[in-house]
Amino acid sequence: MDLNVVILAAGKGTRMKSRLPKVLQPLAKKSLLSHVLDTSFRLDASRVIVVYGHGGEQVRDVVASQFPGKPIEWVEQREQLGTGHAVKQAIPQLQEGSRTLVLYGDVPLISDATLNRFLNTVNLGQAGVLTVKLDNPKGYGRIIRDHSGAIREIVEEKDAGDEIRKIQEVNTGIMLADTLDLLAWLPQIGNDNAQGEYYLTDLVKIANDHDVPVLGCLVDNPIEVEGVNDKRQLARLERMYQRHLADELMTAGATLIDPDRIDIRGSLQVGQDCCIDINCVFEGQVTLGNNVEIGPNCVIINSTIADNAVVKANSILENATVGIDCEVGPFARLRPGTVLREQAKVGNFVETKNIVLGKDSKANHLTYLGDAQIGEKVNIGAGTITCNYDGVNKHKTVIGDGAFIGSNSSLVAPVEIGAGATIGAGSTITKPAKENALTVARGKQVTLEGWQRPTKKQ
């Protein structure tokens, strides 16, 4: 049966003390709402409906940029009158002959695995509530089950007696029902309470009044249903999430020098026997092969690092491809379009962009290489620069196999260095350098006898 997913994302988030709407606050460098949308699409929902309110235009613009072409329907909740009122706003968008799942834009870590288990637990003709057991359930609505295990009632703490407050199973707010039932029940939710709001939890009583069983499905990991209301909770959830990802990496066989000092802001895939030192950040899609070593304080973004490669301390890689047995850093920066072939080396304070560095070639220190095709077994001396930008356009440098570029050389593109060529240190090369020949391009050295250094004026 088709599935509607309704995501409640209208809260202002006053306690965030931020101009950014609450659902756009970042967790692992992705908005809270984006986490929930990603999960919703993995459920193969026929319709995903976001109920928005505060900062609505900003929320829509950000989501549209992050999910281009995705079929997201938007419904505005102009007045925030409770969760039941929020879901009511989505009634015109709900597809009949389906089921409807209610999620929350500020509960970002609910997994598709848990939700699929929830969907499989609750059958047609039933309703469901996702629940969680907490060591300290203070502040949460308690779950009251009958002798069969079905949920009879959700009692808010302020209305609970001492015995009910001892119950550790609580409501997460995530609910599931047949859409036709939901359409019939939503208008029956009242606001006769201290807050004057329409609560979605009233559906439990309404369902029972209509002899529709309400099943509870327990969440295995409480982190999945943690909500976020302020920056302290956001930071706490970030650390819990990062530790969860670190545990998954170690389960996959990675060695983490300190599991509490790693940040994954995207997807990190690891091979066997990888070792990751402290304070490393991985963003976007990153893949590490077998026996890869990542030194401390590295930032790696949307990059692939092949078997046996070593990335030394304080290096930054972005949209780069590092081949087998390569060595990078320390303090290296590989910018987008960098490809290192097998056994290549890029050392300290070397910056690259849009280059191919051939097999067994090396640029060990203090060098900028941009827009270059560099062959095999090339040595790039310290201080070498490919002068690839003329102020308007970029130009390419081609260096043949086995070339030797002396220190402090400037290669003014477009230019070609032949295979086996040697460039004398301190040269500025503006014309093709012949293969297997020495090319030197320096100004004439002059010595002035009796020259006096300038002195500071009194």
188: left (phi over 0), alpha (psi -120 to 50) or beta: alpha
Report the alpha-carbon angle 91-97-101, nearest 5: 55
Predicted confidence at residue 427, as pLDDT, reads 96
Rounded to whole angstroms, the Cα distance separating 169 from 155 reads: 11
pLDDT tens profile 321-364: 999 999 999 999 999 999 999 999 999 999 999 999 999 999 99
Q: Which amino acid is at 395?
A: H
Torsion (CA) 224, 123, 213, 169 in degrees, nearest 10: -20
**Which residue among the candidates 35, 54, 365, 395 is catalytic per the annotation?**
365
- 241 near 124, Cβ under 8 Å? no
- Owner of token pair 């990802």: 245
What number of CA atoms fall less than 13 Å from residue 178's CA on the CB side?
12
As given in the structure block, the two tokens for residue 394 are: 């970029």
What number of CA atoms fall less than 13 Å from residue 308's CA on the CB side?
8
pLDDT tens profile 145-163: 999 999 999 998 888 899 9
Residue 62 has pLDDT above 80, yes or no: yes
Residue 245 has pLDDT above 80, yes or no: yes
Predicted confidence at residue 258, as pLDDT, reads 98
Confidence band, pLDDT 50/70/90 cuts, at residue 166: very high
Mean pLDDT of the region 357-380 = 98
Mean pLDDT of the region 296-313 = 98
- 376 near 360, Cβ under 8 Å? yes
Of 165-174, 244-253, 396-405, 440-449, least confident by mean pLDDT is: 440-449
Domains and CATH numbers, the chain: 2-225 (3.90.550.10), 231-439 (2.160.10.10)
Predicted confidence at residue 15, as pLDDT, reads 92
The verdict on whether 395 is a catalytic residue reads: no
Mean pLDDT of the region 239-250 = 96
Q: pTM of the full predicted structure?
A: 0.90
Chain centre to alpha carbon of residue 31: 9
Helices assigned H by DSSP within 67-110: 83-88
Rounded to whole angstroms, the Cα distance separating 202 from 187 reads: 11
Residue 197 has pLDDT above 90, yes or no: no
Predicted confidence at residue 451, as pLDDT, reads 82
As given in the structure block, the two tokens for residue 250 are: 């170690």
